[in-house]
Structure 1
């Protein structure tokens, strides 16, 4: 079973096999985690994303799906891009958020990754409540870790103390 750890920090500085990008569907960069990964990873990431858009993902990456590219200048070997759902108070999109974590781990396992770093997907501009996101993320990676025995470490890289504290509380409860 994979170890799950939490760190407060910058996902672009993680020396893991894979960093997960909370991407937008265009795969062409954006704000938040997506923008930081593209800026610090350099043009190689964008070039591979453009190739993906020219091929199988001409209409973009669907919410909950995941796809890998190089990590460019990042310490990681690969970036796994996933599109998180936008929070809705009137529609339960929890399964899509779970799919982001599950599919990212499955893609990482296909790559032969032993370590994966996740951000708090959908908790920024997509407004997903942090406690709910933490519950879904932690439950999903625990479940999926059984299907991906080659992955030894799953790290959540949380940008601020408040988000770290919520994830730590959820991790301690389970």
Structure 2
């Protein structure tokens, strides 16, 4: 059994152990994952989506945690060790990781966005928190292996939007804008 398989098993066990916080079963949440390798623009794209939704009158921001404030999520879920945490880039002193929850005034759906991702443990904590906040739609960042071996097992109907490494700045912007349009189309 490989390391990624072990990590996915640990993440699934973590979700089972914390089922008391799972107010809305994760299998009942519409999960949309922005999937790609590290440094392919997932966090930047999701942060731009959050900024766009904040400016849109159809979406009301319910709560938001930025950077080191993400520690509050671990406290709310009674996660006291470092094995499972919501932290992603914040560990490197950056403040670009966020969790935001919106209500869509048009259709009444609750939307949660978690910009941290990649590893199974980070994705598991993000999904657990969004479940505890009873979101209808979860938008998360994920590594391809985490999507295939964890997210799609938890919720086989999860949607995948791919990102990839693009060196040309204009092409990166085009991919980011396309992905934001795709993500927004799921929310209406």
- With the shorter chain as reference, the TM-score category is 0.3 to 0.5
- TM-score in terms of structure 2 length: 0.37
Structure number having the greater helix percentage:
2
- TM-score in terms of structure 1 length: 0.39
